[in-house]
Amino acid sequence: MNRSPPKPVLALAASILPQRILRRALASQAAKRERLVILGSGWAGFKLINEVNTKDYDVVVISPRNHFVFTPLLASTAVGTLEYRAITEPVRTYGRGISFHQATCDQIDFEKKEITCRPAFESQDAPFAIAFDKLVLAVGAKSNTFGIPGVAENAFFLKEVDHARKIRARIIECFEQASEPNTTEEQQRNLLHFAVVGGGPTGIEFSAELHDFCVEDLSKLYPQLKNKVRISVYDVAEKILGGFQAELAEYASEKFRREGIQIKTKTFIKEVKKNLMVLKDDTQIPFGALIWATGITSTPLGESLGGVMKEERSNRVITNEYLTILDKNGQALDGIYAIGDCAVIKDKNLPATAQVADQKGRWLTYHLNRQVAGKPTLKPFTYNHIASMVYTGAWSALIDFSSKGNLKGRLAWIFWRSAYLTKSVSVKNKILIPMYWFLSWAFGRDISRF
C-alpha cells in the first residue's frame, strides 16, 4: 500500500519553490529599478520614506538616527510633560520596502553618483560607499552658535531627543544641588537661574514649559527653593516672536512678565563659560542651565559640499522651485534634490519650520512618483502657509493665521494641542500623547534623574 507524504511535508515542499522564484524575481526587479538614496529622517525625509513608490524605486535611507522626531513637542519632553517614546517613530516600521543604514554621509561625488558614509557607532567606523541614481538631501540643520566661544561646550541645544533628555536631567540636578545643606543662598540663586537664548517659537515654548514645570511640580517638591527660581529669555532682536503679528508678540511678552519670566531683548552675548554667560558689555550672568535656541546653520555635510550654490548667511544649499540643487553657475543638478532645513529655494524666504519641510517632502514624493511612472510634474513647489503656533504656558497659546486673523489664550491652546495630536504620525502616539498629558495633569511630571 502506497502512503502519501504527511501534509506538513507537502506544504513545506510547495512553499520552497515559490519562495526561490520570488527571491529571484525581486532581485531581478531591484536590478532594474532606479536607486533613490535619501539622507536624513526628519520631517522632509520621513515624508518621502513613508510615501515614495518602493515598487519602482530601490530606496536606501541613510541617517545617524533610526527614528523620526515630532519636534513641535520636543520642549514638552524636556520637562516631563511627555515621554520621549510618544514623539518618535521608527524608520524601519514606516519605511517598508526600503533599505536602512544608521550612518552619516561624509562625502558626495556628484559626477560618479556615489556617496561615502560612516556607521554611527563608536565600535564601527569603517567607511562604505553607495551608488545612486537619484539623491535627496534631507539632513536638516544644526544650531547656529554664531562663532561665540564656549556655546558648543557649555550650552544645551534642543533639536534631538537626546538634547531634551540632557536638559531634563540638568534641571533636576540643579534643584537637587540647590537643596543640599551646604549650598549657599547665592549658589542656590545661580543654580536655579535658567537662561534661554532665542526669542523665537522654540525658545518661547521651552520657557513656557519650564515655567509650568517649576510652578506646578517643582515648587511643591522643593518649597524652600520656589522663590529663588528665575527664567530669563535673551535675544538680539528688539522683541520676541518677530515672525508673529505684533499684537500676539506683545501678548506673549506681557504674559511672561506677569509670570515672572524676564525678557532681555537687544542683548549680545560675547562668550559662554561653564555656568557663566558674558555679555558684550562684559556683564557676567551666572546660570544653572543655558538653552541655546536661536538660528540654524548648515550641517558638516552641507559645509563640505563643493561646486554648489549656497546661501551666504546660513551656508545652506540653494535649490530651484523644483527642489533640485543648483551648481555654482545656477544650473540644476539632474536627480539631486534638497529638502527641509538643509536647503533654501532661490529668491524665496521661507521659514525653517516643520510645516515647510513637511510640504517639501510631500511635493517631492509626488514629483518622484510621477517621474518614475513617466508622467510630467508641471507645477513647481509652492508653500501654503496654514498657521504659526506657539505655546505660552499655563494652558494658553498663540495662533497666527497671517492675514486671516489670530487666536490667543485658552481657545488657542486647545487648537494647538488638537493640531499637534492630529499631526502625530501613528495611532500608537495618538494614544500615548493624550495619556501622558492626562498623567502629568493628574499626578505631576516625573522628576527621576537618569
Give the pLDDT score at 403: 78
The predicted pLDDT at position 12 comes to 39
pLDDT value at residue 450: 64
Quick one: pLDDT at residue 402? Answer: 85
Instruction: Let me know how many helices (H) and strands (E) the chain has, helices first.
Output: 14, 24
Nearest alpha-carbon partner for 262 in 233, 288, 282 = 233
Residue type at 264 in one-letter notation? K
Block residue for cell numbers 501622558 = 436
pLDDT at residue 7, rounded to an integer: 41
Extract the residue ranges of the chain whose pLDDT is less than 70: 1-31, 449-450
Phi first, then psi: give them for residue 131, nearest 5 degrees: -85, 155
Q: Which domains are assigned to the chain?
A: 34-141+298-372 (3.50.50.100), 151-296+387-443 (3.50.50.100)
Q: Which class for 136: exposed (0-12), middle (13-18), buried (19 or more C-beta within 10 A)? A: buried
Beta-bridge partner residues of 67: 90
341 burial (CB, 10 Å; 0-12 / 13-18 / 19+) is buried
Q: Which helix (H) or strand (E) holds 292?
A: strand 289-292
Buried b (16+ CB within 10 A) or exposed e, 270-305: ebbeebebbeeeeeebebbbbbbbbbbbbbebbeeb
Between CA 445 and CA 351 the distance in angstroms is 33
Model confidence pLDDT, tens digit, residues 258-274: 999 999 999 999 999 99
Taking only the tens place, the pLDDT of each residue in 292-342 is 999 899 999 999 999 999 998 889 999 999 999 999 999 999 999 999 999
Query: Whose CA is closest to 108, among 135, 89, 82?
Result: 135
pLDDT value of position 31? 54
Say what the pTM is.
0.90
